[in-house]
Amino acid sequence: MKNYSKPKTDNWQGRKSTKNLYLHEKVKCVPLDEIPEPPKKSITLLGYACDKGVSRNQGRVGAVDGPDVIKNSLGRFPNHLPSAVQLYDAGNITCTKGDMEAAQAKLTSSVCSLLDKKQFPIILGGGHDVAYGHYHGIKKHLDSKKEGKSIGIVNFDAHFDLRQNTQNNNSGTPFYQIAQECKEEHISFDYLCLGIRKDANDRSLFQTAKELDVTYVLTDTFQIQFLDEINTWINAFIKTVDKVYVTIDLDGFSSAFAPGVSAPSPMGFTPHIVLECLKTIIASGKLISVDLAEMNPKYDIDGQTAKLAASLIHHIMDLQFP
């Protein structure tokens, strides 16, 4: 299968038990085209092993190896999922000969297929260009149902990723691309950014965000002491859409928590505020899919960023499937 590699059982190691106490014992490695439609909604992990968009965006490469490293870390976590909920590793979408657009197209069809099969996809990146393919997979699924459901994008990130793609598509352009396509289709572009840094976005990006009517919370406000106010904004945003797609860029976290990313910063946000916001989003019942982006093992320290990514996934699974 082009732009795809099958799951590797070697990614799943850890402490052994006889009662599926750990996620490496719970997970089933199943090729993408063999993922079943379960009687009860289940979880599929799918990697996006591509950092071509980071390279095009003049970032430091290495995120291509992120998905497998996250899986390896996640396997060591305890298993609290209900026995009826299956957990699958469906392998990785790959980028062949630098063709990022082909990888995004493969991700689109894969996410659509997983949602059609009543799976809850968690996509592991990879550059933040993962968002373009992921969003279109959700849209393709919803369009096929002909229900006209609107998609709200919640991005935990230091960056808007609203760079214009006049030169090329890259890890900094996905939401600009989506916005332009929404305009062409005369549908609403619903985009909420949490953790935006003024020192990580130039004036033109703030102007673009204003023109596109983007809602955002700056990093100096995106702190736990302002949680009630932040939750008010999140709930107001969620009320305007039918489904919510969450994307978490790991470079939004302070490098004290996430050194292994494509664009690190000591001035980022903390895991605690993200976890509290995720509780609010998941409680709405509208979350349809999640991804994590910019995990770069090349620059990680003691597996710290991989553990953060795995912990976020662990929390999301527990909240989504109590």
Q: What are the C-alpha distances in Å from 195 to residues 30, 159, 263, 269, 318?
A: 36, 8, 14, 7, 24
- The reported pLDDT for the residue numbered 173 is 95
pTM: 0.97
> Phi/psi class of residue 291: alpha, beta or left (left: φ > 0; alpha: ψ in -120 to 50)?
beta
Tokens of 90: 């469906």
Does 136 appear as a known binding residue? no
Lowest mean pLDDT among 59-73, 146-160, 179-193, 234-248: 146-160
Tokens of 58: 């003049």
Does 51 appear as a known binding residue? no
- The reported pLDDT for the residue numbered 41 is 84
- The reported pLDDT for the residue numbered 147 is 65
Residue 309 class from Cβ within 10 Å (0-12 exposed, 13-18 middle, 19+ buried)? buried
- The reported pLDDT for the residue numbered 20 is 93
CB atoms within 10 A of CB 266: 8
User: Who has greater pLDDT, 265 or 127?
Assistant: 127
Q: pLDDT digit string (tens) for 121-180?
A: 999 999 999 999 999 999 999 998 776 689 999 999 999 999 999 889 999 999 999 999
Does 159 appear as a known binding residue? yes
Q: pLDDT digit string (tens) for 71-115?
A: 999 999 999 999 999 999 999 999 999 999 999 999 999 999 999
Could you give the domains of the chain?
A: 4-320 (3.40.800.10)
Does 68 appear as a known binding residue? no
Confidence of residue 1 (pLDDT cuts 50, 70, 90): confident
CB atoms within 10 A of CB 197: 19
> What is the C-alpha to C-alpha distance for residues 79 and 83, in angstroms, rounded to an integer?
10
Lowest mean pLDDT among 190-194, 205-209, 261-265: 261-265
> What is the C-alpha to C-alpha distance for residues 138 and 126, in angstroms, rounded to an integer?
18
> What is the C-alpha to C-alpha distance for residues 244 and 264, in angstroms, rounded to an integer?
27
Nearest to 95 by CA among 162, 149, 48, 154: 48
Per this entry, what is the length of the chain?
322
Q: What mean pLDDT is predicted for residues 46-65?
A: 95
Whether 234 contacts 212, CB under 8 Å: no
Q: What mean pLDDT is predicted for residues 272-278?
A: 98
Amino acid found at 10 = D
Confidence of residue 185 (pLDDT cuts 50, 70, 90): very high
Does 318 appear as a known binding residue? no
Confidence of residue 18 (pLDDT cuts 50, 70, 90): confident
CA 197 from centroid of its chain's CA atoms:
19
Whether 74 contacts 312, CB under 8 Å: no
Q: What are the C-alpha distances in Å from 18 to residues 15, 22, 74?
A: 10, 10, 19
Helices (H), the chain: 23-26, 52-56, 66-74, 100-116, 130-145, 174-185, 203-211, 227-239, 271-283, 304-320
Q: What mean pLDDT is predicted for residues 281-294?
A: 98
Q: What percentage of the chain exceeds 70 in pLDDT?
A: 99
Does 134 appear as a known binding residue? no
Which of helix, strand or coil describes residue 118? coil
DSSP string, 44-74: EEEEEE--HHHHHTT----GGGHHHHHHHHH
Tokens of 204: 């033109």
